[in-house]
Structure 1
Amino acid sequence: MNVDICKCEISLTDASALEAWNGVVLEILAHGQNAPVHLNTLLETAPEFAMGHAIKGLAVLMLARREVLPVAVEANKSAQAALKAGGATAREALWCSALNDWINGAPTRSVERMEAALRLNPADTISMKMSHGIRFMLGDNHGMRRSVERVLPAHGVDHPLRGYVLGCLAFAMEETGSYADAERTGLMGLELAVNDAWGLHAVAHVYDMTHRVDDGIALIDQNAAAWGHCNNFRFHVWWHKALLHLDQGDVAKALDLYDTKIRDDKTDDFRDISNATSLLVRLQLDGVDVGHRWEELADLSEARVDDGCLVFADLHYMLALAGDKRTDAAALMTARIARDATGPGDMAQVMKAPGVAAAEGLAAFGEGDYQRAFAGLSAGHTKFQSLGGSHAQRDVFERLTIEAGLRAGRLDETKTLLDERTALRGGHEDTFAARRMSQIESARRSQRSIAAE
């Protein structure tokens, strides 16, 4: 039996099909643009390859878009039919089960299937990457780290994909607060896999969390080979660069990156919308007039009010609706999230908490009702991790919670949130925290002065 680039046995017998499969693996690991090209070649050459249909379906589900779910369902049918025809390996069957689980509302079980595949062969890099990716969407940061650490010994210096594993480990280390280890591991991985955008962005996260702004900008500028080739993930790297410039106080550069890079291609991919909305919120909280930039985001987001595939996406759509003062659409979004919270499946639990409270808080913030905004956002605050994404991505909700508390005059509670946020960053106080702490002290002085009078 043939062996693929992950050192796993594979049922493919045609050499061109195996080459296409290895191309799929490499492009996914590098967040490259050509994964669909290789996948189409693979399925044309080997339509009986069940795992090929499974990876297609799982990739579609990760887009978190209601209208493409039929594509994932069809891929699942093809995968199950190919599986019944026989010849699949145990690993390939597990991937088909993972797709079927997610189709049926249980991505947590999909993760279990990937971990079972890794127990069969811990050198299976693509199963590690899929487990990592789904856990990322579920907010399972510690699970991400445990998973990669378990398979690292099987990815020794002789494994061709070791660099990508180090990149995933670096990100998991950063998300669990081990910033020095994450930096060292990510840079080591980049030496082995120079096109590893995920590893590069893991180190960029470290610099964001530890307020090393100059280091972060230099890292991105000096490693274009790691991310210039990417699919829309390159917009996310530009987003990181814009955040770093904004932390420096360079508003003009952040706005220029928004217009010429982050939203140059005005897609309605939730990941691209999350980049854009969260940057605009940061700018507005710093007192910047963002002009008409909310309008196109709100148009796209209003069309997704009934989506409900991923709470992380829904709340970023809500940012656009609140930013453009679309109160009717925001109310519809809030009501739909509340309905979804009563349903079955893994996502309903996240809709229930923190989804409902956070959506209500964001809608209230858009209306200028800061007491109600703080009540909703602070109620959801302890479960923001379950939204998925990264600390840097979820920080927009942290900032809005803190800002709502300040504007509502809830100074003691707001200071506690700021202290917790700085502690999460290893004690490094960024520009946002420093300014809000200063505002709290100023407000307290005013309160003391009034009390004395």
Structure 2
Amino acid sequence: MEEDRYGLPLSTASTDAAAAYREGMDLLLAFWPGAIDAFERAIMLDPEFALAHAARARIHAIYMQREAALQTIARARDLAAKRGTPREQSHVATLVLAIEGRGTDALTSTLAHLANWPRDAMIMALPLGAFGLLAFSGRADHDAARRDLCDRFAADYGEDWWFMSNHGWALTEAGELAKGRAVTERSFALRRHNAYAVHALLHAMFEDGAVDEADALVEGWIGDYDRTGMLHGHICWHQALGALDRGDADKALAVYTDVLVPTMDSAPPLNTLSDCASLLWRLMADEQPVPPNAWADTAAYASTRFTGSTLAFAEMHLVMIAAATHDSAALKGRLAAIERRQAEGRLPAGRIVPHMLRALRAFADDNWRGCARELAPVIGDLPRVGGSHAQREVIEDTYILALIRSGALAQARDLLDARLHRRPSARDTRWRALTAS
């Protein structure tokens, strides 16, 4: 019987279909272009190959193509029931839950599946990363949970380039920076055409304050990565963060106009939304120029793709757009929906979300005291929103600037001192100087 790269049996009699599936796995796990073509080739070579359909459904879901994802995973489920092994049936059943948006059930199914088949990397990937089942679970300790999960299965994967890129990033986000960076660098050395490892390494450099080193990494590597790659825009977004840290707003703007404009970006929609909205918000908050129509373009992009959003992380960025454009109707509607879901107990991230959304609205209205008042009781709950620390820091920045502008200089100084103690930052040093006046 054919096997995947991790030695797990594949229910296909076609050697070529199995080879195409293995190729697609590697490309998807590396966030490298070509995975769609590989999985579709596997399906063409063996139309009853359940896992190839399941993998294709997964990519549909990543790009928020919900109907296509549901139809394709349903086909995979039928085929797995017909001729799949118990592992393949469990694999597909877990993906069904994830694609249907049943996060809690999907996480439970994932952990049960991994207990039996720990080297099923396509399922192991589900709870990992900044947009994974753990990050979006609403748990405050999801960074530590990701690290613990990787620690538990490290022996099963050994020196595997994909697993180490995840393990390294999980260690970094959980505060074990030196260890996390070392593991990530080993992963990158094993496979340079691995956007996931580059991304994880950029996060380690962000946490270490190594802005120039991160910029050099991107400049020396990005030329091999096609713009259609899932993480192309986001990797460039990291460059923009570094530029803002150095006070180079022009370079940050150039990244936006050259790479991140929604009509140009081919990234998954959640990446495009969060990268564009958060970069524009950072520029606006720091009183830097924003390109004409940039907010309107981002609002137009979001309006057709996030009509039924339930993720706290997405809501955070959607409210940035509504607040920056002073769209009172959108703000009122989003806040009402969030508060209703909170009252009904259907808000995994809890009270941080309505407070955060009201704070963003207040900040856009120059109501600094109101913004600080909303964030003060919940700023410690930010991890519950999901995403990475680098992505969530935009809310910390908003809080610090609101404190400075409302005259709460001692509070702002204490927060900035804590951040500067953790990592050097030219931007935080500039802001720290403002608290001395």
The question of a shared fold, defined as TM-score above 0.5 by the shorter chain, is answered with yes
Q: What is residue 145 of structure 1 aligned with on the other side?
A: 147
Q: Which residue of 1 aligns with 2:430?
A: 435
| Distance in 1, Cα, partners of 2:2 & 2:184 | 31
SS at 2:369's partner residue? Answer: helix
**Residues 294 and 378 of structure 1: is their aligned pair in 2 closer, same or farther, counting only changes over 3 Å?**
same
How far off is 1:399 after superposition?
A: 0.7
Superposed CA offset, 1:231-266 (max 9, x none): 231000111111112212222222112111222715
Cα distance in 2 for partners of 1:26, 1:230 equals 17
What does residue 4 of structure 1 align with?
4
- Taking only the aligned residue pairs, the percentage that are identical comes to 24
1:155 aligned partner: 157
| Code of the aligned partner of 1:82 | L
Residue 339 of structure 1 aligns with which residue?
Answer: 340
Q: Shift of the alpha carbon at 1:229?
A: 6.7
Match for residue 73 of structure 1?
A: 70
CA distance in 1, matches of 2:117, 2:296: 49
Match of 1:99 in 2: 95
1:77-118, Cα deviation, whole Å (9 max, x unpaired)? 323322332x32232222222233335543133233333333
The amino acid that maps onto 1:22 is R
TM superposition shift of 1:402: 1.6
Choose the corresponding residue for 2:379, options 381, 385, 389.
381
Unaligned runs of 5+ in 2: none
Rate the CA distance shift 1:230–1:188 in 2: closer, same or farther, 3 A: farther
Aligned pairs for 1:102-113 (under 5 A) are: 102=98, 105-113=101-109
Greater mean deviation of Cα atoms: 209-218 or 234-243: 209-218
Structure 1 residues 191 and 229: CA distance shift in structure 2, 3 A: farther
User: Residue in 1 aligned with 2:243?
Assistant: 245
Hey, what's the Cα distance between the residues in 2 that align with 1:164 and 1:84? 29
Alpha-carbon RMSD across the aligned residues, in angstroms, is 2.5
Distance 2:99 2:197 in 1: 29
Q: Which residue of 1 aligns with 2:201?
A: 203
Provide Cα deviations, 1:187-233, integer angstroms capped at 9, x if missing partner.
Answer: 21111011111111212112222211111111112223674476231
Residues 436 and 153 of structure 1: CA distance in aligned 2, closer, same or farther (over 3 Å): same
Q: Which residue is 1:324 aligned to?
A: 325
Change (3 A) 1:228 1:146: farther
Please state if 1:192 is matched with 2:197.
no
Alignment of 1:42-191 (within 5 A): 42-63=42-63, 65=64, 68-85=65-82, 87-102=83-98, 105-133=101-129, 134=132, 135-138=134-137, 140-157=142-159, 162-191=160-189
The answer on whether the counterparts of 1:297 and 1:320 sit within 8 Å (CA) in structure 2 is yes
Question: Quick one: distance in 1 between partners of 2:108 and 2:42?
Answer: 26
Q: Deviations over 1:264-322 (max 9, x none)?
A: 71568121121122112222233212142222112223445642142211211211222
SS at match of 1:362: helix
Counterpart position of 1:451 = none
Unmatched segments (≥5 aa) in structure 1: 443-453
Q: What secondary structure sits across from 1:32 in the alignment?
A: coil
| More off after superposition, 365-374 vs 194-203 | 365-374
Q: Is the 2:319–2:360 Cα contact (8 Å) retained in structure 1?
A: yes
Aligned to 1:265: 264
Letter in 2 for 1:272: T
How big is the shift at 1:342?
4.6
Question: What letter matches 2:264 in structure 1?
Answer: D
Q: Is contact 2:70-2:100 (8 Å) kept?
A: no
How many residue pairs were aligned? 428
8 Å contact from structure 2 (residues 270, 314) kept in 1: yes
SS in 1 for 2:170: helix
Structure 2 CA distance for partners of 1:4 and 1:305, relative to 1, 3 Å: closer
Q: Secondary structure at the match of 2:351?
A: helix
Relative to the length of structure 2, the TM-score reads 0.89
1:18 maps to: 18
TM-score normalised according to structure 1 size: 0.86
Counterpart AA for 1:72: A
